[in-house]
Structure 1
Amino acid sequence: MADPIASRGYRADDLARRFELERVGDGDVVVDGVCALEPGRKHGLGFAETARQRDRVLASRASLVIVPRELADIDGPALLVSETPRLSFARVAAVFERPGPAPGIAESAIVAPTARVAASASVGANAVVGERAFLGEGVVIGAGSVIDDDVDIGTDTVIGTCVAIRAHTTIGARVRIGSGAVLGERGFGLVPGPAGLEPVPQLGGVRIADDVEIGANSTIDRGAIDDTVVRTGAKIDNQVHIAHNCVIGEHTVIAGCTGIAGSTQIGARCMIGGGVGIGDHVTIADGVIITAASQVPKDIAVEGVYSSTFRAMPARSWRKRLALFRVLDRIEARLKRVETKNGIAGDP
């Protein structure tokens, strides 16, 4: 059955059936977009995540609210009851996203004669598609993007504007790549020579699995020999750099401005905070959480939460602590002499 026309809204019953949610209240209520729970608005869809928001749901002017099971007894707006309200809201809200462009190739686009472009794909203005490239069903290539030779892009993947996908990159299905991203540039590999540093040939590719998201202006370098790999369901924020030969595990999340040096392997279901720096040839276990602005120069072998650096503090306090850091070696040596003189055993 075709979706209702978005401009005319969606009935509560239609949404309940589509997303397998329990509907409480008026099933004919129509919503035409999302809204905050407070104050809410007529024909708006809101959500409450916990039972503590009962009073906010009762006061909301939203026409339809997604709620947890504990709030299913509310006598107020129409409800959609979910065991995971935030996830359900994300899924339902997606129906209100702006529809994609119509299939077809813009007149100003350049598509190589050996490229294969599915009939349902869309290639935007001034985009370039190289030789032997493949664009699957429902693929969207934004205006001004460049898809090099021998690139393979899977079903329903959306490439933003001014994206560069270099040769020998493979992208799976339902991938989202933000504007300005660059995949498959040569990695930063250098070796000392008689006349200075010389570049190491980067002969690998990039492999992006299904359901990955890559944010705007992020960069993923191609491998030197083996491919750089981003596995299924990984989510990469804006302005993230992933160097050559890295492997990013399934469903790992990487926040903005993180830099990951070459040949690093990050496990599955990890959470990497913003502005994290990870050294080269580091291996990180599954399920690791690294808080924002941390530095990771060595392997992390055990699941857990890891942090480094200091929280912001008044500059005067920071300068006092910095002065102590500079004399820590002398303080340690003095403490050892005192312990030795008094027969006190220090830490091993």
Structure 2
Amino acid sequence: MKKATISVIAILIILVSIIVYNNEFDMIVKDETVNIEKESIAVEYALPKKKREKPGLILFIHGDGPTNKNGDEGYYPAWETLAKENYISISWDKAGVGGSTGNWLEQDMVDRKQEAEKVLKWALEKFDLDLRKVGVWGASQGGWVITKLLNENKDVKFAIGVAPAVNWMRQGRFNTISEMEYEGYSKKKIDEKLLTETQVNNYLKENNYQGYKDSNLEKEVLEKDRWDFIRKNMDLDNTSELEQISKPYYLVIGDHDLNVDTKETENIYREHINKEYLTVYPISNATHRMLKPRHQKESRMTVVETIFNPRRIFAPDYFKALKEIASKKEI
């Protein structure tokens, strides 16, 4: 009995040690609040541990949803990769999330760009940086923000787009079809869902929220603030912005993406961005979030694997791409 108890305790100690070790990242993480007039933005940044030459800086621009400053610590493995290449990574709670004031659902992509510029201005004043290596990283919806930053802000020298879409409406349709096919729905059911979405979009175009609610088209009715957010952004298409790009853009796309038609994205980016500035990183066995395909839908296995080693849920080629981008002498 005593031997069994000792064995169990030993195993638990080993497991805890493994978890603690694998959840320590080779970087220094700090939090601050940026106060600008009546606005507060809660930021978090990761510093390289080793003192070398002046570091670079990458702003992480979230995708959709009420995301906190470190993406529920999902950014940490990427931040660690960049810290090892002498980059500071920084992100922040979306407006109205955590310690940030405001409401992210009231923002369009211009608002998000301006918010990012406030953080960038603060960071440029705070850190002694290699100004040739100041860039932005944007995931999914953040892709519409980073093209604006790259084109319109002289301090931004490069952009990393992770699974960005080009057109809001086409992206939504693709997402519906691919998700339902993945779940095994019949073509008839998919067509019915697409018809419903078309009808909802017609109400959105008319800004007829009451008509939408009265229609009973959807079991889960859009809240008014989400409705307004969609109306602000549903016409998004950044094709013309791609044509204006004259700085390095690194496109990172996975081959198991259910959210964004990455083939369309790659084709349009190649067509409209001067090849001198575009580098494409196709990531094998990667979902929309750059996770391994077995984590396409979050499960108990995802949670367990994240606890034991949060790096291992990601497709390895994603970190290889970030390392290659960050290690370039001239971005």
TM-score (norm 1): 0.19
TM-score (norm 2): 0.20
Instruction: Please identify which structure carries the higher strand content.
Output: 1
Instruction: Please identify which structure carries the higher helix content.
Output: 2
Q: Which entry has the higher C-alpha Rg, 1 or 2?
A: 1
Which structure has the higher relative contact order (CA within 8 Å, separation 6+)?
2
